[in-house]
Amino acid sequence: MTRVLFDIKEIANTNFTFGNVAGATIENLTAKPTIEVERTFLRAPPVNNVNGRIIFTQALSARNIERGPSRDKLWFVDGYIQYDNVSKFDDATINAIFAELESVYNVYNAAINTYLVLDSAAPGYNEDPVNAMYDFTLEVTELGVPANT
């Protein structure tokens, strides 16, 4: 697992507020979804989390932005959200979970941090009524990395 993949997962795990995923047309979460890196998740899958799961699958290195003695490293982090519920609409709940994930990174970006995280183009909700899933890609910029690394 790359450091950036672990860090992005930890930011989400630390700051995700399940109480923000609520509303009349969605299932109100009663706890935080499972937030994990796919390799770790598949090695020891937890018992089914009725609050869904956010799984980060890979971090792919992209081009660097050179800034003299330092540079910004670009990454693309892929992942997916799964949620299954019989009482309310899965698509609305999955989209609300993704909106909270976006909010987590927007708040994180507002402070001076190691990473700048942006939502990138992604397929989104798969519209499958049986295996509801939302695929996403995050564009992550690791700021101020020494040029010799």
Give 100's contacts (C-beta < 8 A, 6+ positions apart). 16, 17, 18, 20, 21
| CA–CA separation, 100 and 51 (whole Å) | 13
The correct CATH number of 3-146 out of 3.30.160, 3.30.2000, 3.10.450, 3.30.70 is: 3.30.2000
- Provide the residue-wise pLDDT of the chain in tens; the chain has 149 residues: 588 999 999 999 999 998 888 776 677 788 889 899 998 888 877 666 678 899 999 999 888 888 778 788 888 999 999 887 656 666 778 888 889 999 999 988 888 788 888 877 677 778 776 677 889 999 998 887 776 66
Cα–Cα dist 4/76, whole Å: 10
Domains of the chain, by residue range, sit at 3-146
For residues 88 and 24, what is the distance between their CA atoms, to the nearest angstrom? 9
Alpha carbons within 13 angstroms on the beta-carbon side of residue 48 total 5
Specify the pLDDT at position 46: 67
pLDDT value, residue 52: 86
